[in-house]
Each structure stands twice: as C-alpha cells, then as structure tokens.
C-alpha cells in the first residue's frame, strides 16, 4: 500500500504487556494494547492518531520509535515498522538498541508532559546539544551555534541555553522539547499529546510553531492526541483508535464532516463546541436498557478495561447499533467512501 | 444589579500565599455574585486564581502557606470568612458542597462507596438512622445514573471506572441538597465521551432540583458554552469579564476573552489555516503588572493600561468588563459593590 | 516575550543549597561540625607532647616533623624526648636554650605517671577533663577521638554509598532477572549477623597498632571501615533502586533513548543526578549511625585496638568508674553534642530537599 512518497509504513503492529500474578510471579494474562495496527505516513504529511485513554495511541507512537523495550523490559512487540530512507527500506521494529541508534537522528519525538520530559538537572543548552554530540561530528563551537539557532527557531532567546527547565513555563518547556527534537534534522517527528498539558492561549502558539517548522523543514508528523479539535486542525489524515484497533481511517475533513464508524460518531458528538448557540441537549446517544420496572433507562457506559477487551468488535458494548453477531469476530477495516471503516453495519 | 438577591456574594477577596520567592497574590481583589439557581462558569487559565477562589469560599486554603488577606464572602446573610471553624464545617457539604478534578483521589480507597455517601448524611444529620441513610444513599446514587446502586454501595472505589467515580462524587456532593455546588474542573480528567455524560448529568440534575446553583470552574470554554448561564473570565487573580453565556460568545468585550475564543481550534465549520494566538505567557505570579493584569500581552494596549488598573464596569445590561477600552455608559454608576478598597 | 527569569540560572542543587543556608539551626551546626573537623587535622600540632621547635646549643630542631631520641638533648632516657621535662630543665637553667611546646602539651597516648595520686585524676587546670584510668588526658583523647570517629563515619558512608549507588542503579535500570537475583543476594547478605561477623573477623585478624603512625593510617582502622562498609551498603541500594525504577519511566529518559544516548550515559548522566535525593538526605543520619556503631564496637572491645583514642573506650571506662564523674560526663557529653549537631544538619537537609515551597523551619 506504500507509494513512492511514503516515508513510514507500519504493518500489523501488535504490542502486548504481560500481566503477572500468583505467588511465584508468572504471566497470568496480557493487555493487548495495540492489536494489529497498520498505517502509512507520507513525506511532509501529518497524520493524526485520536482516541480515548487506554486506546493504545501512545503505545503506537512509542513502538514506532522503539523505546517500549528500553523503558519497560516486559513487553512483546510484533509487526513491522518500515522506514523508507534514501531508497532503502529498514524495519525499525527488528532493530536492537545498538543498531537502532543509527536511525535515531531521523526519528524524533515530542512528549506530552513538559515537566517530566526535560531532565531537571540539565541545562536547556546541554539537552539540545546532546543529540548533536551523538549524531554529528561538529565541534563544540559549531554545536553551540546550532543550539542558539534552534532556540531562536522555537521562539526562545539564545541566552536561555544556560537555564534549567524549572525556570520555564509549560509552553516554554514544550518549545525546548521541540528544539531538542529538531536538533538532528529529523525526517519524522512523533508528537505525543504535545499541547494537551498547555493552556489554551499557549496551546495555539505551540500548534502554530509546529506547523511553521513542518513547512520549513519538510517534516512528517504523527500527531497523537485525545483532543479532536487540535487533531483536526493539524492533520491531513486521521486514524481513530479504540481499545487497540483502528476503527476508522481517512482524510481529516471527510471524517470530521461525516464520521462513518459509530465510535467516531460518538466521539465527535461528545466534543463540546464553544459558541453562542452551543447545544444544551444530550450529546451522546447511549444504549437503552429496560430497567426491571420496564422503563427504558440509559445505561451509563464506560470504556471497558483493556484487560477484559470485549470479544469480536471491541466497541459493541457501547455501540448504539450493535447486533448479536458483533461479538463473533472483529470486523476488518474495509475501504468505503474514500476511507477505511471497521464496521459492516454503519450507514 | 439584578433584583434577586444573590446566593453568594464575594467582595474584594484576596487570597495570598507566602512562598520562597515572596508573596503570591493568587486572588487579588475578586468580586463575584452567584445567583440562586444559575450555573455560573468561572473560566481561566492555570494560575488565574480560579481554583483558589473556590477553595477560599469554603475556607479550604492550606494555611500556611496561604491565607485570606481581605474580603467578604456573604452567604445566607453571613460572612463565611468570619465564621468559626465549627460553623463553617456545618456549611461544608450541607449548604455548599464541592467536587474536585481527580475522581481517582477524591474518594477514600479503603472505604466502600456506600459508607462514604452515608458518612455525609450521618455527619450533618446525626439523628438519621442508618437504614434511612442507606436508602437515601441508594436513591441519590440512582439519581446520578449509577446502575444497580444497591450493589455498588458495597463496592470499593477502585472497582469503579473514572466516570462512575465522578458520579459518586456528585452523589456525595448533592445528597444533602446544598444550595450551592462548586465543581472544580469536574470533567478535566475524564475522556471526552465520559465528560459529555457527566455534563449532561449535571444539567439534568440542576433541572430536576430547582433552586440549587452551580459554580463550574474550568479552563474549557466549550464546556462553559454548553452548560453555563453566565460566565466569569478570570485572569491574574481578578475577574476580567462577566456576562450571560450567549452575550459573551456573541460579543466578547475584553481583549483577553476575544483572544481566548479566537485561539480555540474547532471541530466544526471551516478549518483555519492558522490559529490566532495570544502572544507571551501568563505573567509571573510574584511579578504582576501594576496596571491592567493583561497589559503585558494585550494587542490593544494604550496609554493608561500599564499604570492604571481599570475598574469592573457594567457596559451593557448584566455585562461587566474590566478594560480601559470600555467605559461605563454615562449615567450608570461603576460597578462598585461595597468595596471601597478595591480600586 | 517570556516570563521574567532570575538574573542567573539556578540549578536545583543551588536552589536547595540556598534553602539549606536559610535554615539557621542546621546551617550553623554544619559550619560548626565541618569547621571542627577540618581543625581536628591540626591536632598533632595543637595537642601533643612533642614540641614544635627546640633551640639547643645554638641549633634549631623541629621535633614536630622529625623524631629525636632523648639523648639528642642530653636527657638520660630511652625513646622519645620528654619535651615538657626538657622545657622545665631549660627554663630552670636560664640559658638561651628553649622549647616551644604546643598550646596543650599532652599526647593522646601518653600516660602521665608523674602526676600526684592514683589515676584517674579529676579535672584540673592542666588537665581540663581530668585523666583516665591509665593517666591519659581525657580532653586530648576526646579531641583525637572526634577526628577518628568522624573520619571513620565519613569513610564508611562514602564506601557504603558508593557500592550501594552502583548496585542500586544497576538493579533499577537493567531490572529484569538481574534485579530479581540481585535483590535475593542482598537479602541473604543483609541477614548475616553483623556483630558476630565482626567478632569472628577480629579474632582471626589480630588488630595491630603501629606506634608513631597517625590514627587514620592504622591498618586496623581501615579493616574496620571495610567490614562496616560491607554491611552498610545494602540500605542505600533499596532507595537508589527505587529511584532508578521511578525515574526510568519518566519521559526525559524516553527522550534520551530517542536521542540515541548510550545506556551508561543514561544511567549516570541522566538518571543518577535525579536519584540522589535520598542519598543526600540520608547522609547525615548515616553519619550518626556510623559514629554510634564505632562507639558501640569500641565499648564492647571489638573496635579499634588499644591504645587508639576512642570515645567508646572512654565510655566503657566511665561505666567501670561510675564514681569518677568526669569519665562519665565528658565522653557522653561530647558524643551527645556531636550526634545532636549532625542530626540538626540532617533535619535541615531533609527540609531543604523537600519540594514544598513553604518551609516549616525558618
């Protein structure tokens, strides 16, 4: 499915976290956090990965940059992450930590929490300089110049290089994180909830900064977020995830205009909209279930725990149009109206 | 001013924190009315002082380092700030109750749900029998939409999902029919579908229980648009604009309010190529500008803004704004409610 | 447009140092203890029976640096010159020979047999804290004991923490099977009875005392340090392991991995500085524990060999001579004040490292 313009091609990615129990700890079950996810990223494109907490979107991002194993030794990753580099194709998922280091410069990440993602004991300059020391043979003076240039690019002052993270506000820290990710001239940046922890007025600044940088450097973004309005603003294509599966994928404008999967519909309906004529009625259609008294009563529905994922279509427990046979097998993603939908019954 | 007597009247509230780097004036001269039966949204970014305001109302400010330096909070003819601890404890939960952001930590993990709901009743109404308290608890849990409440009574918080826990928190807050519910970011920690359900529930409960007012504290302007009757926008420890919700979204007057609304990305309508931003960041709390608190970031700043703090004036019916661009129409007195020290 | 910043960058460590200095009680205790400790290295020149400088028959001698047998100055004795006697002799003679003695001219291991009466002698103008049951000046022995106790405690802490941090870092960072087995080994090791091990080791390796060599270079001193360190490091591994475990899951470590930083660099350059909070805040209390351990061992007779000046040995004497109040009061008083000051430092350090903005002590 990859075109010449594809830079990253993720095929059938599976991530399982074992769960240990018993007197002598052994694997008793597992959380299938990412269940056969496939996606492609074009050069200069931004794809958005949306979903609620526990849907596996963050895990997908971390699996692509191959940091799940080094950060959590008990994890089982299968599938292929094909990185197209100068006409060659490399499977990043099969690289060990040592050989992966060769591709690290091309593949960077911006993290959600601007407080924990910067080392509190290192100066901002040292943090941005570190990737340059590892991946380039620049002299100290050249690296210093580059750090200043990067700080200027992300809207900070070069004199901030000698500062420590705790001296900055959340938005400024996120700019430092972006400068660090840009240091080695990456091709792909995975942005994991980069603006979720920021205030509204600062959020817009950082979103604009990321878009400016994308244009200037020709970056490809994988933008992971639970905030549907931000994702819509930045993304060319959208992947909607639910409990480890992609349930709908396609051009952003299409999906936002006419969501096809019942989950996408529910998600979009739930987003509150600012404005003078905001609706003040029930936003989320819930499955109705007769009470013992015979009166239909809306069922309070919650996300099932990833530990007990429903069989078949994972969304069936919350789906307003679920049928009995939804429990039998997981519906595959099917091409329809210029997008892919994993639901045979939606209209 | 409106004819109806406000339920809660905050006048010149100042809540300060002594920190290592000096005195942080988290709330610095705040005037606010909550009217009976309304949902009032208190909107602001982090550090604007909105949560501190909520905690000050119930005198929950940790002292030290914080203390309420000045102000009056009138509720049912009494100034909450002068009440004894004994009296304020009687008001907490019974007259004014509060729900917090974190449904994970607001419930005590070692007690059952039922015990925590019943405790609220038995603390404030010791005469109630345990059976009565139990049936009232089951009733309120049903009301907040918890399926099979009798079973849930005997479960522990960790057996419930985040949305369900927030429902329990709402049940605890409402079981004694308080006349004011303060909800501090009640849906921020929740997923968007669960958030929608909780907001629905709050509106539904409000419709069902006439007279009770809600003070909804949030940073989310969309949540406010869909739930509130009036909105107060806070910045730098002060109210900058107060207006009925439709007025505020149709005709925002304060440059900060306008900036906030413009910087929101949207899920509907045309997709903007670029977001509008407010330049800069919130000023350091130890180092607030002397004039208008927003003057350091305001695009429409002019001569008096740096040095003179504008007063909060009523520029249109029920629409108050604190900005030099908007003077009170001639003839109307400035909104100066019994607080000579707040200029 | 950025929020105003402090005029100079301030690292977390500097900020904590500033906070520590504001907690007066702990800061002054620290200055007092550190000052006394540094000064105590000059003890051989301040409290000793050996003279600084001697002028004899027109020549100058520096006994503080070189050993002179008694015969050098015409004394009829074997071994080292008795400089106090020499001074009296020269002063009486009235010629231009003279002796410059240290301000407190008594040595730590010198039995003052020429004093009137039977030792222990009560305090007097010459012997401020009196003498012990072998006629040695208690004040001098306590002063030397301070240097030995603190050096000992610091060395045990440094070695123990060094091992503890390295092992804890490995267990916490590499985790997995290494962690599982490493922890079991530590548990087995920490269940070895410490006191019995000391007794067994000291019965096999007979402690020797080399006269003339300063205390901290005695082999027995180092043997005891190594034995104690071997039992002292486990506690710190738990804390450091826990810190590494927690820090490793933070995003800045993820960012370092994404950047391609090598494992040792992540461990030592990125995580370790963030994992040192428990290490630093426990240090003063570890010093207290180590001083107490040395005192206890000396008291029981399994510590430093005689005649090393030690607090535990003096406290032991005090217990045997309860009626000789100066042997009870002064050693216990000195021990108590030292430990109290170190605890005050510890309290201030803990407070300075508390991330809370508002300080309880001030």
Q: Is any Cβ of chain B less than 8 angstroms from the Cβ of A201?
A: yes
Domain ranges in chain A are 1-106+187-280+332-347, 115-185
Q: What percent of chain C has pLDDT over 90?
A: 24
Q: Which two tokens stand for residue A152?
A: 């200027």
Determine the pLDDT at residue B339: 41
User: Could you give the residue ranges of the DSSP H alpha helices within A73-184?
Assistant: 97-104, 124-135, 140-153, 170-182
The pLDDT of residue B1: 45
Q: Would you give the DSSP letter of residue B157?
A: G
Contact partners for chain A, using 3 or more CB pairs closer than 8 A, are: B, C
Residues of C in contact with B287 (CB under 8 A): 4
Q: How far apart are CA B233 and CA B242, in angstroms?
A: 6
Which residues of A are less than 8 Å from C255 in CB distance? Answer: 109, 111, 117-118, 177, 180
pLDDT-based confidence at residue B268 (cuts at 50, 70, 90): confident
How would you list the strands of the sheet with A188-192, edge to edge?
A: A107-110, A188-192, A220-225, A46-50, A237-242, A245-251, A339-341, A334-336
Whether C2 and B283 lie within 8 Å, measured CB to CB: no
- Taking contacts as CB-CB distances below 8 angstroms, the residues of chain A near B281 are 169, 171-172, 201-202
pLDDT tens per residue across span B180-200: 999 998 888 788 888 888 888
| Alpha helices, H only, chain B | 50-57, 85-91, 113-124, 130-143, 149-152, 162-174, 192-208, 221-227, 245-250, 255-262
Closest CA to C304 of C232, C229, C219: C219
Q: Give pLDDT, residue B6.
A: 87
Per residue in C170-218, pLDDT (tens digit) is 998 887 788 889 989 999 988 888 888 888 877 777 666 666 666 666 6
Rg of chain C over all Cα atoms, to the nearest angstrom: 26
Residue pointed to by tokens 């240097």: C147
* B24: confidence class by pLDDT, cuts 50, 70, 90: confident
Reduced to 3 states, what is the DSSP secondary structure of residue A97? helix
pLDDT at A290: 45
Label residue B305 exposed, middle or buried (CB < 10 Å: 0-12, 13-18, 19+): buried
Q: C227: pLDDT confidence band, cut at 50, 70 and 90?
A: confident
Mean pLDDT to the nearest integer, A223-235: 91
Q: Tell me, what's the ipTM?
A: 0.83
Confidence check: pLDDT of B18 > 90: no
Helices (H), A167-284: 170-182, 200-217, 228-234, 252-257, 262-270
pLDDT digits (tens, 9 = 90+) for C309-345: 889 888 888 888 888 888 888 999 999 999 999 999 9
Least confident of A234-238, A252-256, C57-61, C265-269: C57-61
Inform me whether the pLDDT recorded for A316 exceeds 50.
yes
pLDDT at C3: 44
What is the least distance, in Å, from the CA of B87 to any CA of chain A?
A: 37
CATH architecture of the domain with range C139-352 = Orthogonal Bundle (1.10)
Amino acid B338: pLDDT: 44
Instruction: List, in order, residues 6 or more apart from A96 with CB less than 8 Å away.
Output: none
The token pair at A236 is 């060319």
Smallest Cα–Cα separation from B323: which of B303, B294, B343?
B294
Confidence label for C359 from pLDDT (cuts 50, 70 and 90): very low
The tally of CA atoms less than 13 A away on the side-chain side of residue A308 is: 4
Mean of pLDDT values over C223-229: 86
Where in the sequence of chain C do the CATH 1.10.3720.10 domains occur? Answer: 139-352
* pLDDT surpasses 60 at A305: yes
- Rounded-to-integer distance, Cα A335 and Cα A332, Å: 10
Q: Rounded CA gap, C133 and C119, in Å?
A: 5
Between the alpha carbon of residue C298 and those of residues B18, C294, C309, C338, the distances in Å are 49, 6, 10, 17
Q: Is C88 on the interface with A (CB under 8 A)?
A: no
- Name every chain B residue with its beta carbon within 8 A of the beta carbon of C4: 284, 287
**A294 pLDDT more than 50:** no
Q: Residue B3 — very low, low, confident or very high, per pLDDT cuts 50/70/90?
A: low
CB atoms under 10 Å from CB of A25, counted, come to 9
Alpha-carbon A323 to chain mean position = 30
Mean pLDDT is lowest, of A314-323, C28-37, C158-167, for: A314-323
**8 Å CB contact between B267 and A275:** no
pLDDT tens digits, one per residue of B127-163: 888 899 999 999 888 888 887 888 888 988 888 888 8
What is the pairing mode between strands B39-43 and B213-218?
parallel
Mean pLDDT of B26-52: 89
Q: Which residue of A has its CA nearest to B46?
A: A199
- In this prediction, residue B330 carries a pLDDT of 61
Is C7 touching B (CB cutoff 8 A)? no
Q: At what angle do helices C277-300 and C219-232 cross, to 10 degrees?
A: 130
The closest CB to that of B267, out of A172, A211, A232, belongs to: A232
Contacts (Cβ under 8 Å, ≥6 apart) of C212: C67
Domain A1-106+187-280+332-347 has CATH 3.90.380.10: no
Nearest residue on chain B to A232, alpha-carbon basis: B267
Q: Residue C249: which of C165, C175, C164 has the closest Cα?
A: C175
């Amino acid at each position: 499915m990859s075109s010449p313009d594809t830079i990253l091609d993720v095929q059938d990615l599976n991530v399982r976290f074992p769960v240990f129990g018993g007197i002598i700890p052994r694997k008793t079950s597992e959380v299938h956090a990412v269940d056969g996810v496939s996606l492609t990223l074009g050069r200069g494109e931004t794809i958005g990965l949306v979903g609620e907490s526990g849907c596996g979107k963050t895990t997908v991002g971390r699996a692509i940059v191959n940091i799940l194993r080094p950060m959590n030794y008990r994890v089982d990753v299968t599938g292929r992450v094909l990185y197209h580099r100068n006409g060659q194709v490399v499977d990043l998922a099969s690289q060990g930590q040592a050989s992966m280091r060769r591709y690290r410069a091309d593949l960077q990440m911006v993290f959600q929490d601007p407080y924990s993602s910067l080392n509190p004991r290192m100066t901002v300059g040292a943090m941005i300089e570190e990737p340059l020391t590892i991946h380039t043979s620049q002299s100290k003076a050249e690296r210093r110049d580059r750090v200043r240039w990067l700080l200027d690019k992300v809207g900070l002052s070069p004199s901030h290089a000698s500062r420590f993270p705790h001296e900055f506000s959340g938005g400024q820290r996120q700019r430092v994180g972006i400068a660090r990710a840009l240091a080695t001239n990456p091709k792909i940046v995975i942005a994991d909830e980069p603006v979720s922890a920021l205030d509204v007025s600062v959020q817009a600044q950082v979103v604009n900064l990321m878009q400016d940088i994308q244009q200037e450097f020709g970056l490809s973004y994988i933008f992971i977020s639970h905030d549907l309005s931000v994702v819509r603003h930045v993304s060319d294509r959208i992947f909607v995830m639910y409990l480890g599966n992609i349930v709908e994928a396609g051009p952003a404008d299409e999906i936002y205009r006419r969501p096809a999967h019942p989950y996408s519909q529910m998600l979009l309906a739930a987003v509150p909209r600012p404005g003078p004529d905001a609706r003040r009625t029930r936003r989320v259609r819930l499955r109705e279930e007769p009470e013992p008294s015979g009166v239909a009563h809306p069922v309070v529905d919650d996300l099932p725990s990833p530990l007990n994922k429903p069989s078949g279509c994972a969304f069936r427990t919350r789906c307003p149009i679920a049928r009995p046979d939804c429990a039998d097998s997981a519906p595959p993603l099917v091409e329809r109206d210029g997008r892919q939908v994993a639901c045979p019954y939606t209209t | 001013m409106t004819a109806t007597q406000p339920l809660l009247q905050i006048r010149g509230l100042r809540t300060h924190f002594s920190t290592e780097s000096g005195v942080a004036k988290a709330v610095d001269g705040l005037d606010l009315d909550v009217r009976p039966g309304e949902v009032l949204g208190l909107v602001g970014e982090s550090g604007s002082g909105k949560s501190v305001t909520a905690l000050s109302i119930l005198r929950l400010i940790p002292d030290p380092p914080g203390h309420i330096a000045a102000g009056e909070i009138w509720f049912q003819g009494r100034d909450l700030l002068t009440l004894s601890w004994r009296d304020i404890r009687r008001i907490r939960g019974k007259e004014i109750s509060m729900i917090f952001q974190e449904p994970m930590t607001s419930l005590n993990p070692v007690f059952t749900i039922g015990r925590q709901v019943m405790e609220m009743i038995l603390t404030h109404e010791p005469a109630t029998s345990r059976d009565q308290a139990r049936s009232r608890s089951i009733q309120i849990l049903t009301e907040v939409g918890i399926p099979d409440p009798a079973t849930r009574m005997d479960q522990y918080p960790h057996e419930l999902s985040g949305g369900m826990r927030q429902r329990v928190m709402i049940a605890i807050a409402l079981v004694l029919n308080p006349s004011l519910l303060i909800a501090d970011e009640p849906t921020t920690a929740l997923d968007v579908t669960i958030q929608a359900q909780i907001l629905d529930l709050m509106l539904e409960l409000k419709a069902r229980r006439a007279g009770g007012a809600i003070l909804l504290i949030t940073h989310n302007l969309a949540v406010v648009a869909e739930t509130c009757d009036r909105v107060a926008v806070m910045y730098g420890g002060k109210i900058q604009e107060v207006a009925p919700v439709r007025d505020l979204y149709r005709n925002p007057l304060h440059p900060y309010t306008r900036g906030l609304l413009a910087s929101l990305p949207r899920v509907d309508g045309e997709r903007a190529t670029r977001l509008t931003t407010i330049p800069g960041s919130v000023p350091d709390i130890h180092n607030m500008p002397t004039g208008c608190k927003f003057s350091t970031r305001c695009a429409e700043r002019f001569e008096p803004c740096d040095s003179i703090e504008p007063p909060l004036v009523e520029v249109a019916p029920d629409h108050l704004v604190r900005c030099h661009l908007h003077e009170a129409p001639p003839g109307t007195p400035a909104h100066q409610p019994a607080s000579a020290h707040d200029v | 447009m950025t929020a105003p910043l402090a005029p100079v960058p301030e690292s977390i460590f500097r900020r904590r140092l500033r906070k520590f200095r504001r907690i007066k009680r702990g800061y002054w205790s620290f200055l007092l203890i550190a000052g006394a400790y540094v000064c105590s290295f000059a003890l051989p020149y301040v409290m000793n029976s050996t003279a600084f400088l001697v002028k004899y028959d027109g020549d100058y001698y520096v006994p503080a640096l070189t050993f002179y047998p008694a015969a050098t100055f015409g004394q009829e004795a074997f071994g080292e010159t008795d400089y106090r006697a020499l001074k009296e002799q020269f002063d009486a003679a009235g010629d231009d020979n003279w002796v410059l003695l240290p301000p407190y001219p008594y040595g730590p291991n010198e039995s003052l047999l020429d004093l009137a009466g039977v030792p222990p002698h009560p305090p007097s103008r010459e012997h401020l804290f009196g003498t012990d049951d072998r006629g040695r000046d208690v004040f001098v022995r306590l002063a030397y004991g301070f240097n030995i106790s603190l050096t000992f405690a610091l060395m045990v802490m440094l070695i123990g923490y060094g091992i503890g941090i390295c092992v804890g870092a490995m267990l916490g960072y590499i985790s997995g099977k290494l962690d599982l087995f490493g922890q079991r080994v530590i548990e087995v090791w920490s269940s070895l009875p410490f006191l019995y091990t000391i007794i067994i080791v000291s019965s096999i390796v007979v402690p020797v005392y080399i006269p003339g060599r300063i205390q901290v270079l005695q082999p027995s001193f180092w043997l005891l340090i190594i034995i104690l360190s071997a039992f002292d490091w486990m506690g710190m591994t738990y804390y450091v392991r826990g810190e590494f475990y927690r820090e490793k899951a933070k995003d800045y470590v993820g960012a370092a991995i994404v950047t391609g930083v090598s494992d040792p660099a992540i461990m030592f350059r990125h995580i370790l500085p963030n994992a040192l909070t428990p290490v630093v805040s426990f240090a003063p209390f570890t010093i207290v524990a180590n001083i107490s351990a040395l005192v206890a061992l000396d008291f029981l007779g399994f510590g430093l060999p005689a005649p090393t000046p030690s607090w535990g040995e003096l406290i032991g004497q005090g217990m045997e001579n309860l009626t000789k109040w100066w042997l009870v009061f002064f050693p216990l008083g000195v021990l108590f004040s030292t430990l109290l000051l170190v605890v005050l430092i510890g309290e201030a350090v803990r407070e300075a490292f508390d991330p809370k903005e508002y300080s309880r002590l001030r």
